[in-house]
A and B are shown apart, each in its own frame.
Chain A
Amino acid sequence: MERRLFERRELLFVLAAALAAVIWLLISRSGPGGTRAVVERDGEIVLSRELGGLNEPETVEIAGANGVTLTVELSRDGARVKEADCPDGTCRRTGLITRAGESAVCLPGRVVVRLEGPKTDRSLDAETY
C-alpha cells in the first residue's frame, strides 16, 4: 500500500492552518478604505470623517483657541475652511485640500484640517508652501 505524506485527519489541520494564515494576511493588509478628513485642535482630534461616505457636503463649526471660530466644509472632493473669523485667514486661502497628506492650518486658532489616506498607500509625505 502506498503511504500518503499526511493522514486524512492530519490534512485537515494543515488546511485549517493554511486558511487561518490567508485570513490573517487579508485582515492585516486591508487598511481604511478611502481618504479621511481629520480636524485637530491643539493637537487633539475633534473630528474625523471618511470622505467617501459623504453623500452631500457637510458643514461643521469648530471653536478654536483664542476665540477663533472656523467653518469647515467636508465633501467627497475634499475639505476646506469655508469661513474663519481670525485676522489672517491663511487657512481659508489654502482652499480645497484633496489629497492625503495635505493640510489647512489656522495658527491663531491652533486648528488643523488634514487629510489622511490608507496607511499602506499614503500618497504624500509632506507639503511645501
Chain B
Amino acid sequence: MKPMPEKSKARLPKGKRAILILLPLALVLAGLAAWQFAHREREYQLDSFAMGSYVQLTVWGREPEEGAAETVQRIEKLEREISWRRDGDIGKMNAQAGGEPVTVEDTGELLAELLELCERSGWALDITLGPVTRLWDFDGEPHLPDEKELEKALALVDYRKLSMDSEEYWYEVPTEDGYHLDCVGTKYHVSLKEPGMAIDLGAVGKGAACDEAAELIYREGISGMAASVGGSVCLRGEKPGGGPFRVSVRDPKGDQAGSLGVFELDGGYISTSGSYEKYFEQDGKRYHHILDPSTGRPAESGLVSVTVWCPPGMVARWPGALSDGLATACFVLGKTDGLALLESYGAEGLFIDENDVITVTEGLKDRFSLTAGGYSLGEAG
C-alpha cells in the first residue's frame, strides 16, 4: 500500500476560505428567502354586503385576492337566482305559479335537497312559506298580520304542491388536447301548482351562499378559507400553521355580552337560528321571525337558539344550505325531535332553551367551550 502523498498545494488563509464558502451560501439563502417571500402564504380579508347580509371572507394562500373578489360576485349571482325579490329562477317560479314550469339546473338541485329536508323534518320546514313570510314582513316593517289574511296565506303553503321533474342530458366539454369529455347534466322543470303560491328560501339563503363561497377552495393558490354570510359559516382547507378553526357563537342574551362560547372545528358548515335575532313587540308580546309552517306563527318549542354543524365529509350537495335549513327545522321541532333529525343526517348541534340550559350533541361536546356565565350544560338524548 502506497503512502498517501503529502498535500503540497498552497492554501488560502483560513478567513478568506471561510468567506469563499460562506458567500455563495449566503447568496443561496438570500435567494431562497426572496423566493419564499414572493410565494409566501398570505391572509386576505374581504368584507362586503351580499345576500341581504354582511359577508366576511378570510382567505389564506399564495394568491388570495382575486379568488376572494370572485367569490363575492358568485354570491351576488346566487342571490339573483334564489331570492324571491329578484327576477332569477325563484322569482320566475313564483311569477308563474299555477302555470308553466320553469326549467333550471343548479337551483333545481338545491330545491331537491331542501324538499327532502321538508319531508324528513315532518313539515318543520316549508320552502313554500312565501305567502306567510310576506305578511309578517320581518325584513321590512314587521307587524302582526290580520287573522283572516294569515289563514288565506297559510292555505297556499304546501311544499308537496311544488312539482319537479328532472331529465338528464349529455353535453361535451372540449379538452386542451383537442378531444372532448362527455358530461352528464340534470335539468329540472319546476312548477308551483296553485296561483298565489310562493317559494321563500330565506331560511337557507345564507347557508346556500356559504356553499357557493366554498368553491373557492378549488382555486389554485388557495390553501384555506373561512367565509361567513350573515351568521352562516363555511370552513374549508387549512389555516397556515395548522390548528382548528375557531368560531364563536353569539350569546342569545346579547345585551350582556357578545359571545356564548367557542367551537374549535377542522372544517364544515355552521348555521344558527335564534329567536333573538329578529323580532318585534306588539301589545306587550314578543314575535320572533322563525315561523312554524303548520301555524304560520312564530314557533314555540321552548328553544331560544339552535346551532347546527355539518361536518366535513357529510354526503350532501349543499351542506351549507342544509346546515341553515336544519337549524330552522330543529328550532321549530324543539329539542327532542330536533336531536333525532340531526342524528338522521349525521349532523351535530347545540341547543339553548328558555331556561338557559345548553345541550350539545356528542360529536361537538369536546369541540365547544362555554365562556358566558348564567348557563348550564344539559345532557343530550
Q: Chain A: residues with CB nearer than 8 A to chain B?
A: 3-7, 10, 40, 42-43, 78, 87-88, 90, 93-99, 101-103, 105, 107, 110, 112, 119, 123-129
Contacts and interface: CB of A to CB of B under 8 A. Distances in A.
Interface string B138-165: 0001100000000000000000000000
A126 B250 CA distance: 11
A88 B239 CA distance: 36
B233 interface: yes
B239 A125 contact: yes
Residue from the set B227, B228, B248, B255 with the largest chain A CB neighbour count within 10 Å: B248
Given A6-B15, A125-B58, A126-B56, A93 B249 contact: no
B247 interface: yes
Interface in B258-309: 258-259, 262, 270-272, 274, 276-278, 307
B54 A112 contact: yes
16 contacts: A5-B18, A78-B258, A87-B141, A93-B254, A95-B254, A95-B257, A99-B258, A101-B246, A102-B248, A107-B49, A119-B43, A124-B246, A125-B235, A126-B233, A127-B250, A128-B231
A43 B47 contact: yes
Contacts of A123: 246
Contacts of B274: 129
Contacts of A93: 254-255, 276
A128 B255 CA distance: 17
Given A10-B15, A126-B233, A126-B270, 17 more contacts: A5-B14, A43-B49, A87-B141, A90-B277, A95-B256, A96-B257, A98-B258, A99-B248, A99-B258, A101-B248, A103-B56, A125-B247, A126-B228, A127-B231, A127-B247, A128-B270, A129-B249
A1 B74 CA distance: 75
A49 B13 CA distance: 59
A21 B274 CA distance: 52
Contacts of A124: 246-248, 262
Contacts of A107: 49, 52-54
A52 B157 CA distance: 53
Interface string B73-114: 000000000000000000000000000000000000000000
B54 A105 contact: yes
B208 to A, nearest CB: 16
Contacts of A129: 230-231, 249-250, 272, 274, 277
Interface residues of B, number: 47
Interface SS of B by simple majority = strand
A97 B258 contact: yes
Contact of A4 (B15, B58, B248): B15
Contacts of A88: 142, 278
B121 interface: no
B245 interface: yes
A96 B372 CA distance: 13
Q: Most chain-B CB neighbours within 10 Å: which of A94, A110, A129?
A: A129
B380 interface: no
A6 B15 CA distance: 5
Interface in B194-237: 226-228, 230-233, 235
B290 to A, nearest CB: 13
B36 to A, nearest CB: 13
Contacts of A98: 257-259
Report, nearest first, the 6 A-B pairs whose CB atoms are least far apart: A129-B250, A129-B231, A95-B254, A125-B226, A105-B54, A97-B258
Contacts of A4: 14-15
B258 A102 contact: yes
A111 B255 CA distance: 19
B308 to A, nearest CB: 9
A56 to B, nearest CB: 21
Contacts of A87: 141-142
B232 to A, nearest CB: 7
Contact of A128 (B54, B142, B271): B271
B14 A90 contact: no
Contacts of B18: 5-6, 10
Given A101-B248, A107-B53, A119-B43, A128 B228 contact: yes
Contacts of A78: 258
B251 interface: yes
B19 interface: yes
A95 B228 contact: no
A3 B13 contact: yes
A103 B259 CA distance: 11
A45 B52 CA distance: 20
A97 to B, nearest CB: 4
